[in-house]
Structure 1
Amino acid sequence: MTAAQLADQFRDHFGHRQHLYGVLLAELADDLDAGGATATICADHLDAPRGDAIQLRLLAGIFRIVLRGEAPQLEPFYPSLGGRDDPEQAWPHVRPVLEQHVDELRTALDLAPQTNEVGRSACLAVGLFEAVRRTGLSRVRLLEPGASAGLNLLVDRYRMVGPNWAAGPADSALVLDTQAPGVRPEELTIVERRGCDLSPVDASTPEGATYLTSFVWPFDLARHARLAAALDVARRHPVTVDRAPAAAWLAEQLAQPVADGVLTVVWQSITEQYWPASEQQAAAAAIEEGRARTPLVHVAMEGVPPQQMAGSYDIAEHGPSTTVDGDLVARSHHHGPPVLLR
């Protein structure tokens, strides 16, 4: 990929200038074409595959600088920080921030996006209900490769709702509206939960919370509210996320003995696109080998966003698929609800 192609990728991500990130990606693309600070920052990533979402890594790096209070001139443009200023006026204030933080932003491009988007729990829960229904086993051992901070491992601590149904604790700090009629919740107990990630995030620390927050678009206030609620739950119910690659970790976890009557569910969401092909193949092999030892179901929510023009995004066509052992059960937005049952 050339600098011009990467610039077009920036422009096409939203395809409009209707919000802050639409404006910034258009301006960053022009700066990239012109050989400005953006070109210096992105120089080592011109050959990155589209799935690496270099544009989102850069926006998150800038947002972290703002969240740390090191670019107060940008705060009026960030709605999640109370900003209301016109995004079209932001670029002259962003350019010097790029120039002052070139090294940090170059490093930021090495970091895969980790929103640990907790809205995905609503989609994964549909898969989990189906796994319990298929096997008749309601005691669940939950394993998650690519778990980031492990927020989705706390799915049973969240309240899920939809037309004429609900599941999970009524007093949960986080309520996820799936907007999906026809979901049939299953009674289940998670008896063990554990995840892995190449770069696990400690959600209990201010640094970890800031890191996760930086990947959530600043104008999407509902997602920020969801993340804040999930972080509150995680501080009260911490989970273990090991620093390890997916395949080796899965092989180790699935080799361990499991009590009778416990269903192992391996689940993942929007992570496989960041794995090399060899890792994808090895992880799939580890799961298949695990099936020979214990009752196991694989739940996955995966799908690379399409190239978007004029902001178009049809969930039924473009949304990631939630599958249970390869069978499609739902589609959704990449950030979670609404959930469309299949």
Structure 2
Amino acid sequence: MSPTYERLALAIADDPEVLALLETVPVAKRQPNLLFGVLRLLGGPVHDPAACHDFTVANWPGVAAQLRTRATQTNEAGRCALLLPALATLPQPLALLEVGAAAGLGLYPDRYTYRYGPYRLGAGGPVLDCALSGAAAPTRLPDVVWRAGLDLNPLDVTDPADLAWLAALVWPEQRHRRERLLAAAAVAAADPPRLVPGDLVDDLPALAAQAPSDATLVVFHTSVLYQVPAARREAFTALVRDLPGHWISVETPEVLPYAGLPAAPDERLHNVLARDGVPLAWTRGHGEAMAWFG
């Protein structure tokens, strides 16, 4: 929860002038997080609702232009801490293919540092903290020999404008996430990933076929499928189950339902980590915690 965005959302909900402006853009572009990200990208004073109103009205042509061309693409490297226990047990080396890759920061689980309580693994990139329960911490990093991403609108981590957009999408209070984003972006920029514009059903088989045959293919995604219509989700899950290799997902149980899930650790929003359709753990949205039950 962002107190800054909560205040701003409540103010806009009671602001007929801004609401009227929002009605001039497509319905899909009226998302609060998209609007707030655009305002931050353009230097809007999001901490002050009254000043933000004035900024939005005065700069509406620029705001509207960004709303029409941008999309929310949270690229949270911290989620690699959720993937690592599932990746570490697979036959190495690995060929990673991320669906909904954005700028591809999730494709470098072998180049980040992890801290699961007192256990530390790795020596480069940002330090990813994850409270792990129900399982032992991984003892090795994966051996990744091929990495590629698929996204409708891939971002270029070496492009300052794309990096600025990713940073603008991080909530104002979460400075640690912004710092982590920039550190992960530096890792990716040193060896830019291969990112292919395309659809998760139509274009996945061709990209998966390019993975080296002597590596274990792992198709994965984190908090992506909620943006995909139900029929396309079903088509994707049917497709990915038939691909060679393994499938790792981190999604809400409403998006990818499972029978017989144990109770979540608490009442906060949790995703489910699953491998090949088998649920393994409850996870928090940005990788800050996971409770293993599989």
TM range (shorter): 0.7 to 0.9
What is residue 37 of structure 1 aligned with on the other side? 18
Task: Give ranges in structure 2 of 5+ residues lacking alignment.
Answer: 256-263
State how far apart, in whole Å, the 2-side matches of 1:183 and 1:26 are: 42
Q: Give the secondary structure class of the aligned counterpart of 1:180.
A: strand
Instruction: Describe how 1:31-180 pairs up with structure 2 within 5 A.
Output: 31=15, 35-42=16-23, 44=25, 46=27, 54-66=31-43, 71=44, 74=45, 87=47, 90-110=48-68, 111-130=70-89, 132=90, 137-168=91-122, 170=123, 172-180=124-132
Q: Does the alignment pair 1:205 with 2:182? A: no
- Are positions 1:275 and 2:228 aligned together? yes
1:258, distance to aligned residue in structure 2 (A): 3.6
Distance 1:253 1:300, change over 3 A: same
1:305 and 1:277, CA in 2 relative to 1: closer, same or farther beyond 3 A? closer
TM-score by length of 2: 0.86
- Please name the residue that 2:258 is paired with: none
Structure 1 pair 102/284, CA: closer, same or farther in 2 (3 Å)? same
Q: What is the root-mean-square deviation of aligned Cα atoms in Å?
A: 2.6
TM-score (norm 1): 0.75
Secondary structure of residue in 1 paired with 2:53: helix
The AA in structure 1 aligned to 2:235 is A
| 8 A Cα contact 2:84 2:141, kept in partner | no
* Higher percent of residues as helix: 1
The percentage of aligned residue pairs carrying the same residue is 26
Please tell me whether the aligned partners of residues 113 and 127 of structure 2 are also in contact (alpha carbons under 8 angstroms).
Answer: yes
Given that 2:269 and 2:285 are in contact with CA atoms closer than 8 Å, whether structure 1 keeps it comes out as no
- Secondary structure of 1:331's aligned partner: strand
Change (3 A) 1:235 1:256: closer
Give the equivalent residue in structure 2 for 1:297: 246
CA deviation string 1:53-74 (max 9, x = no partner): 81111111111111xxxx4xx2
Count of residue pairs brought into register by the alignment: 282
Within 1, Cα distance between the matches of 2:116 and 2:226? 30
Q: CA deviation at 1:211?
A: 0.7
Shift in Å, 1:183: 2.2
- Per-residue CA deviations over 1:188-225 (Å, capped at 9, x if unaligned) read 31010000111111111210110101110011111111
Q: How far apart, CA to CA, are the structure 2 residues paired with 1:287 and 1:253?
A: 12
Counterpart position of 2:261: none
**Using a 3 Å threshold, how does the CA distance of structure 1 residues 314 and 190 change in structure 2: closer, same or farther?**
same
Q: What stretches of structure 1 of length at least 5 have no aligned partner?
A: 1-13, 78-86, 307-312
